[in-house]
């Protein structure tokens, strides 16, 4: 495994079909697996899984959808385009977003970053035996975002325990049950405005309204500083041993979104004691990421942001409280949201 491939992660989205066909793959897939995104779209992602692990991975794919899981992690082997590189041990994250699975793929290696990623996941599944040492969780670690309850099919009642193999029905991918209402956003992690590059569906925010705009246009003013701090922290987690952008586990939070959006650039920040770093040179940017020359500046979290004036409050009914999962990757930030419960 070369030094570039072993330090990146890419964002991937697959559908609910039996072969989990690719719907989206970010550019860093080429650094990790050798494929360009256009070579994968529409093709089965399970076609890249090691034959010895295919049955287990297909079962995991089905269970993830059936049980409406979120922020899960698995270790398995995926095929590189170059036959000489064979199969690569990868860390795979997955979250159900209505009719797709959204997550990431990164090179798996032991160490503090793997332990951190595992400790923030809601579930860790080790399929490749050599990855057993990566399985690490804090004792009695609570679930930060429990799965939404799955209703039993009509006429079946509660029925037997679905985890009991003697009562488990055969896998049927068509039709699959309707899932809880979630959507996913892919943000630009290399800018302060966090522009929205991708919106999975229109369940919470309309794609035609959000695409290309700052993520903070859809965060209510009273929660903007809080969410900015969360994103700064997640960016800090998503840095590999070489200081390059990579994956960094999950962060969980709750905040209010502004459905119709606003102009977040109208806020006036007071610099006060906040110190801004000068932008790095072009050569430094090139070293920070193997496939693109980008950079992002981090805010000084030790000094709270003071604001002179906000826009006037949103209209009644324009705000929605959401639960959110944040994660950083080589190509961007992944934010998954669902409507929070009334409590």
What is the tens place of the pLDDT at every residue in 240-278? 777 777 788 999 999 999 999 999 988 655 343 333 444
Q: Give the span between the Cα atoms of 254 and 252, in whole angstroms.
A: 7
- Kindly tell me the sign of the dihedral angle through the C-alpha atoms of 281, 286, 292, 298: negative
Q: Give the span between the Cα atoms of 106 and 93, in whole angstroms.
A: 9
Q: Which two tokens stand for residue 317?
A: 């009914």
Q: Is the pTM of this model over 0.85?
A: no
pLDDT tens digits, one per residue of 143-179: 555 555 444 444 444 443 434 444 455 676 666 666 7
pLDDT tens digits, one per residue of 17-71: 999 999 999 999 999 999 999 999 999 999 999 999 999 999 999 999 999 999 9
The three-class DSSP label of residue 117 is helix
pLDDT tens digits, one per residue of 61-82: 999 999 999 999 999 999 999 9
Q: Do 13 and 22 meet the contact criterion of CB atoms below 8 Å apart?
A: yes
Q: Give the span between the Cα atoms of 276 and 298, in whole angstroms.
A: 8
Q: Which pLDDT belongs to residue 131?
A: 86
What torsion do the CA atoms of 97, 98, 101, 103 make, to the nearest 10 degrees? Answer: 0
- DSSP result, 152-203: PPTTT-S-S-TT-GGGPPPP--SSPPPPP-EEEEEE-TTSTT-BEEEE--SS
Scan for tokens 């049955």, then name that residue: 55
- What's the burial of 277, exposed, middle or buried (CB within 10 Å: 0-12/13-18/19+)? exposed
Q: Is the peptide bond before 181 cis (omega within 30 degrees of 0)?
A: no
């Amino acid at each position: 495994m070369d030094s570039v491939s072993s330090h990146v992660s890419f964002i991937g989205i697959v559908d609910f079909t039996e072969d989990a066909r690719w719907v989206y793959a970010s550019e860093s897939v080429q650094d990790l697996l050798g494929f360009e995104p256009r070579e994968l779209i529409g093709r089965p992602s399970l076609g890249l899984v090691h034959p010895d692990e295919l049955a287990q991975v297909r079962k995991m794919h089905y269970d993830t959808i059936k049980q409406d899981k979120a922020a899960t992690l698995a270790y398995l082997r995926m095929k590189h385009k170059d036959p000489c590189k064979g199969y690569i041990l990868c860390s795979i994250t997955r979250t159900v977003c209505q009719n797709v699975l959204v997550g990431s793929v990164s090179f798996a290696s032991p160490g503090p970053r793997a332990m951190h990623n595992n400790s923030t996941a809601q579930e860790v599944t080790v399929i490749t035996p050599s990855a057993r040492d990566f399985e690490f969780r804090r004792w009695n670690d609570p679930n930060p975002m429990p799965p939404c309850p799955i209703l039993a099919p009509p006429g079946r009642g509660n029925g037997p325990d679905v985890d009991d193999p003697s009562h488990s029905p055969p896998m049927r991918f068509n039709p699959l049950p309707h899932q809880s209402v979630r959507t996913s956003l892919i943000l630009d992690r290399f800018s302060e405005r966090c522009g929205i590059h991708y919106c999975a569906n229109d369940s919470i925010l309309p794609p035609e309204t959000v695409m290309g705009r700052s993520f903070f246009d859809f965060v209510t003013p009273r929660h903007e500083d809080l969410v900015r701090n969360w994103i700064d922290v997640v960016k800090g987690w998503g840095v590999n041993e070489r200081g390059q952008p990579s994956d960094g586990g999950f962060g969980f939070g709750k905040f209010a979104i502004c459905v119709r959006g606003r102009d977040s650039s109208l806020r006036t920040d007071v610099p006060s004691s906040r110190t801004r770093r000068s932008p790095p040179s072009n050569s430094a940017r090139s070293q920070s990421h193997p496939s693109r020359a980008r950079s992002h500046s981090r805010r000084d979290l030790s000094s709270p942001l003071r604001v002179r004036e906000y826009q006037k409050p949103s209209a009644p009914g324009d705000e929605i409280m959401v639960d959110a999962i944040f994660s950083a990757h080589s190509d961007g930030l992944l934010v998954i949201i669902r409507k929070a419960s009334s409590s």
